[in-house]
Chains A and B, each alone.
Chain A
Amino acid sequence: MADKVLMKGNEAIAEAAILAGCRHYFGYPITPQTEIAAYMAKKMPKIGGCFLQAESEIAAINMVYGVASTGKRVMTSSSSPGISLKGEGLSYMAGSDLPALVVNVQRGGPGLGGIQPSQSDYFQATKGGAHGDFHMIVLAPASVQEMAELTVKGFELADKYRMTSMILADGTMGQMMEPVELDFDVKERPATPWATTGTKMEREHNIVNSLSLVAEELERLNFERYERYKAVEENEAMYEEFMTEDADIIVAAFGIASRVSKNAIVEARKQGIKAGLIRPITLWPFPKAPFEKAAKTAKAFISVELSMGQMIEDVKLATGCKVPVTLCNRAGGMIPSPEQVLEAIIEADKLGGAK
């Protein structure tokens, strides 16, 4: 077992990216994720990599687009308002089927919002994030260790499916320090015969492009892309279950909300309420299976979120609205307390008939 080191979540992402073979980082300063850029600025020049502070979020994501076109691992990171600016590039990367990693360490919104933790970019991340039909693979870490592990996983999935992977963290995950074990078995990358690396006068020219003026052709490309998305949904959904076997009340929560919820669940069990947690690790694809299963026996679900209620829609879809789903939330940079979640569990326990 490798030694553990104490790191901030943001630093863990940066180090894991380097270990995953990423040698190009482009970004623009924004709180609360700037440690990633600072770490890259220090490290990249020493390992033959490239850190470049872009003139804007828009330029940064397009620099990512450029490196991704050449088939190399590349990333950018930002926080909520900056991710909105990157939306254009995210759509173009989806349209050109380019792999890359984008990190969103969320803060409260809308608009300039605040700089405290939030999960209110859930819709933006999981439902596309910009114009056109597309998805990103969205990974939601709940510890500094997962910040690192999901970074490596994000690169691997991006390469495998030629998609953008997004780490959807929040200010807490980015800023808190925990021991991390940085010992990864990084898989070999798939070949990139599509990359624009120069023809070497040995092959036909490659074109990286999202323009398609013939409607039938553009439709075909969309259908093909969604076939790939279907494979992602079938194979890549990740989640954690905690005390769900006999649970009457299922809490759904990701990231920091899941850690608060675990405390509340342990306390609820002490009070005689059988509560459990399903923690989606991939937010897209949303892990429907454990919710479908739990909906057969649970009395109620609670979606605990740092938003006005976004993931709750996916919980309702996954449970087929068979049982009540309530919302336990704070917003604008506030985090629900274990007491608030416990209260929601007690209330939910009063709902629904006996199963």
Chain B
Amino acid sequence: MVVFDKPHALADVPMHYCPGCLHGVVHRLVAEVIDELGIEGRTIGIAPVGCSVMAYNYFNCDMIEAAHGRAPAVATGVKRSDPENNIVFTYQGDGDLASIGMAETVHSAARNENITVIFINNAIYGMTGGQMAPTSLPGQVTQTSPYGRDVNHCGYPIRVCEMLSELEGPEYLERVTVNNVKNIKNAKKAIKKAFQNQIDGKGFSLVEVVSSCPTNWGMTPVDALKWIDDNMLPYYPLGVYKDRSASKEEA
């Protein structure tokens, strides 16, 4: 009896992520969901620029690597090339989605583009070596905020789910984290819902995953998980920020 196996949608190759990085966990959750929904053969994933730039090697579905921040625009093209059949997801970090690609994020949400967006928020640019991100916390020390993020100088971190929830467009916005087993289970539920929404034609579904970066935060993986609880979640509260279909049912 197999009690634990690799999801079929997850490629059996070594990943380049740092020890303690949570990308591997979220990749696995996405792959499990693709397996469970039986959609691998019609799924096209869009990888961003950032740490998950090589995600195209890690999923067994068709994959496209997009320019920095443009994944939702590329996803729009892919979805609209065959809206009946294509299941399209983007997998983006905070610099990609909330800084250089903010216009693409907001407008694909406003159009209620029928795609699934997995947004990894770890409050730092990982791939380039730990610079300040649009989601870096006030006071957070990074390579480009060596004295701590000074909000008077460079402004405040952006809460993406809250911001997008003001739009009429999007179907579903939820913030989760993956720093313990209970939270991982919740995250999977949210990711599954975000894909199911697309299958059901409901529209733009974004799951923000509050994540860590032990390497660039300068912490052990265990300390980084704790830092999520102590510092990230107070600024980025978990929860559902929009669920239009559920709200309609209630009403």
Q: Which of A5-13, A182-190, A193-201, A260-268 contacts B (4 or more CB under 8 A)?
A: A193-201
Tell me whether A54 is interfacial, beta carbon within 8 Å. Answer: yes
Beta-carbon contact of A52 and B103 below 8 Å: no
Least distance between A90 CB and chain B CB atoms (Å):
11
B-side interface size class: 35 or more
Contact B40 A66 (CB under 8 A): no
Q: Once the chains bind, are B104 and A196 in contact (CB under 8 Å)?
A: no
* Residue numbers in A under 8 Å from B86 (CB-CB): 70, 197-198
Residue B56 CB within 8 A of the other chain: yes
Given known contacts A200-B41, A201-B40, A54 and B73 CB-to-CB distance under 8 angstroms: yes
Chain A residues near B56: list those with CB within 8 A. Answer: 207, 209
CB distance from B2 to the nearest CB of A (A): 20
Q: Which of A57-65, A107-115, A169-177, A297-305 contacts B (4 or more CB under 8 A)?
A: A57-65
In the assembled complex, the CB of A193 is this many whole angstroms from the nearest CB of chain B, namely 12
CB atoms of B73 and A198 under 8 A apart: no
A72 touches B40 (CB 8 A): no
When the two chains form their complex, are residues A66 and B64 in contact, meaning their CB atoms are under 8 A apart?
yes
Residues in chain A near residue B75, CB distance under 8 A: 66
User: In the complex, are the beta carbons of A205 and B59 less than 8 A apart?
Assistant: yes
The answer to whether A205 touches B74, judged by C-beta atoms less than 8 angstroms apart, is no
Q: Check A65–B70 contact: CB distance below 8 A.
A: yes
Residues of chain B contacted by A205 (CB below 8 angstroms):
59-63
Q: Are the C-beta atoms of A63 and B62 separated by less than 8 Å?
A: no
**Complex contacts, A92 vs chain B, CB 8 Å:** 66-67
Minimal beta-carbon separation of B76 from chain A (angstroms): 5
Interface string of B201-242 (1 = CB under 8 A from A): 000000000000000000000000000000000000000000
Count of A-B contacts with CB under 8 A? 134
B204 to chain A, nearest CB (A): 14
Number of interface residues of A (CB under 8 A): 39
**Residue from the list B53, B62, B80, B106 in contact with A50, Cβ < 8 A:** B80
Partner of A62, one of B40, B43, B77: B77
- Interface digits, A59-81 against B, CB 8 Å rule (1 contact, 0 not)? 11011111111101010000000
Shortest Cβ distance from A210 into B: residue? B65
Task: Determine how close the nearest CB of chain B comes to the CB of A92; give it in whole angstroms.
Answer: 5
Question: In chain A, residues 192-225, which have Cβ atoms closer than 8 Å to a Cβ of chain B?
Answer: 196-202, 205-211
Partner of A64, one of B44, B77, B79: B77
Determine whether the beta carbon of B44 is less than 8 Å from that of A196: yes
Given A63-B74, A66-B81, A207–B41 Cβ distance below 8 Å?
Answer: no
B107 cross-chain contacts in A, Cβ below 8 A: 54-55, 59
Known: A56-B103, A69-B74, A200-B42. 13 other contacts (CB 8 A): A24-B80, A50-B80, A59-B73, A62-B104, A63-B80, A66-B77, A66-B80, A69-B44, A70-B78, A198-B41, A199-B62, A207-B56, A211-B53
Could you write out 14 A-B pairs with CB less than 8 Å apart?
A24-B77, A52-B80, A54-B107, A59-B73, A62-B70, A62-B77, A62-B104, A65-B66, A65-B70, A66-B76, A70-B77, A198-B85, A200-B42, A201-B41
**Ranked 7 nearest A-B pairs via Cβ:** A66-B77, A62-B73, A196-B62, A55-B107, A62-B70, A63-B77, A198-B42
A residues sitting closer than 8 Å to B (CB atoms) are 24, 26, 50, 52, 54-56, 58-60, 62-70, 72, 74, 88-89, 92, 96, 196-202, 205-211
